[in-house]
Amino acid sequence: MIIKRLAIKNFGKIHNKTLEFSQGINVLYGENESGKSTVHTFLKSMLYGIRRQRGKAAKNDTYTTYEPWENPASYGGTLWFENGGKNFRLTRNFHKTNQSSELLCEDDGELLDVEKGDLDVVLGGVSEAVFENTVSVAQLKSVTGQGLVRELQNYMASYQGTGDSSVDLGRTMQLLKMSRKGYQVQADRCKKDTEKEQEKLAVNIDYLRQEMDELWEKKSQISVHEEALQTVGEDNGEAVLDERIYKIQREKGLLSGAMAITAVLAVLAVVMLRRLVPGLWVLQLLAGIAGAALFAGEGISQKRLSEELSRRKRMKNRWLQKQEKLKWNRESLEESWKEKETALSNLQAEYREVEERAYLPLMEETEIEAINLAMKTIEKLSGNIHNQLGGRLRRRTSQILSEITGGKYREVLMDKDLHMTVNTEERTVPLESLSRGTLEQIYFALRMAAGELLCGEERFPVILDDVFGMYDEERLGAVLRWLHGENRQVIISTCHKREMEILEKEGIPYQKILL
């Protein structure tokens, strides 16, 4: 990628200014507060846009810092650049009420859509974080930050054996962890639901058993009453009552016959006395009275027998009603008991099914096991990839560091978090034991090596904004020689003339751009 021209229409303190850049080393020279950092920010904003913050953060964000006081509606400019052998023109307006962007391929006239990601494709997918942490070094930010560590780790996690990072293994790991968490929540919920279902079934089973025990007790009491009704006694027992009713009916029948005989005999006695002893009317009267008295006595006995018979029949009816009621109650209890027995059997079968299901692995648990296996595989693969790419990064960083230090420091050692130590011919030296100038060289070497790794085949320009403050002339000369030897576009912003003096001393061609 080569930056050809910037036309800054209205951005920060710069208005209607055009800057031309060459393919090699460009020195953007200006006094302090002349706008060098503004140019640096404008270039980054053209490539990646400006994200406005919200709330209190908006007071000091990039948008507010560089929003022009005059004519703010024309907040932006144009960038011409070459990438992938094609020439592009990118125009942006950053103003919040008039925001727009246009990307034109000048070679074939194709108008590309920035909002739909066409610019990201042209830039080869190099993110703003990669840009800021590798090839673009802002003022006072030459020391690498955690952003570079994250970008390298993400790249290594996404890298395939062929160097293809289209499959993001790091993102895949995140998605798998999220899926595993979701399945775990579902599994826990299923287990809790199963436990609640078991508890509910157990309570219902105990309740049914208690009800069945109570029904059985009531049925036993009814059986006792039924047995009591069948007990032979003075006033109990159907057979006894029937026998007494039969005796009374027989006695009543005999008494009725006796009354008839008595009446006949009394009449015959009176008639016989009248014929045999016509004049003894007293005897006739006495015979009639005796017959009447006997008949009356028999009638009284007949009435008593009738009353006793009625009483015995009422007793039998009451006994039969009690018997029928007890029988109905017993049958009703038996029916209820059988219904509850069926319900209990169904509940017990359902409880066994739930219990068996609780011992079986859930679908979610099976998915979790599969996810764990996939994550272990990815972790192993990522570890192998990290060793492979980490080795490449370490070797290239060591090579660059050796070149810019004249072979004084030949090897950099680093772990997965980019914690580094320098290996000399005699010993390993931790970074905190090195001078600030040497640290700047190490971080520069790391940035350049990471840029080669993360930016792909299309090499971005190296953009340095006043980053050589801690470099002595020897270190600065070594870095400038290395940059020239890389044969790539370099834009150096500085308020000092020594960069240009060293370039001239070294015979390195450059273009000077005044602000």
Q: What does DSSP assign to residue 61?
A: S
Neighbouring C-beta atoms of residue 136, cutoff 10 Å: 23
| Count of H-run helices and E-run strands, the chain | 12, 14
Query: Residue 100 pLDDT more than 90?
Result: yes
Mean pLDDT of 371-380: 72
In terms of C-beta density within 10 A (0-12 exposed, 13-18 middle, 19 or more buried), how is residue 504 classed? exposed
User: Has residue 171 got a pLDDT over 70?
Assistant: no
Q: Given this model, what pLDDT does residue 436 score?
A: 81
Model confidence over 339-363: pLDDT tens digits?
A: 989 999 999 998 888 888 777 777 7
Q: Which of 94, 88, 21 is nearest to 63 (CA)?
A: 94
Most confident of 104-108, 244-248, 454-458: 104-108
> pLDDT > 70: what percent of the chain?
79
User: 183 pLDDT band (50/70/90 cuts)?
Assistant: confident
Segments of 132-213 assigned E as strands:
136-137
Cα–Cα separations (whole angstroms), residue 495 to 29, 34, 133, 201, 481? 6, 9, 23, 83, 20
pLDDT score at 27: 95
| pLDDT category of residue 61 using cuts at 50, 70 and 90 | confident
When pLDDT is averaged across residues 41-46 and rounded to a whole number, the result is 94
pTM attached to this predicted model:
0.58
How many other β-carbons are positioned within 10 Å of the β-carbon of residue 102? 14
pLDDT value at residue 489: 94
Least confident of 148-157, 251-260, 345-354: 148-157
pLDDT of residue 143: 46
**Rounded Cα gap, residues 486 and 464, in angstroms:** 15
169: pLDDT strictly greater than 60:
no
Average pLDDT over residues 291-300: 68
Which pLDDT score is estimated for 275? 67
Q: Strand pairing partners for 111?
A: 104
Average pLDDT over residues 76-85: 94
Q: Which two tokens stand for residue 302?
A: 């007949």
- Please provide the average confidence, as pLDDT, over all residues in the chain: 80
Torsion of CA 12, 16, 18, 19, to 10 degrees: -20
Say yes or no to pLDDT of 111 above 90. Answer: yes
Q: Is-contact 136 130, C-beta < 8 A?
A: no
CA dihedral 286, 290, 295, 301 (to 10 degrees): 150
Dig out the tokens for 75 from the structure.
């907040």
Residue 503 to residue 515: CA distance in whole angstroms: 19
pLDDT number for residue 389: 64
Query: How far, in Å, CA of 398 to CA of 408, rounded?
Result: 11
> If you average pLDDT over residues 50-62, what whole number do you get?
79
Give the position of tokens 């008593």: 304
pLDDT at 162 over 50: no
Strand bridging mode 2-11 / 100-105: unpaired
> Which of the two residues, 242 and 371, has the higher pLDDT score?
371
Residue 388: the pLDDT is 57
- Number of Cα atoms under 13 Å in the Cβ half of residue 345: 6
Residues 6+ apart with CB under 8 A from 220: none
Closest CA to 501 of 476, 469, 475: 476
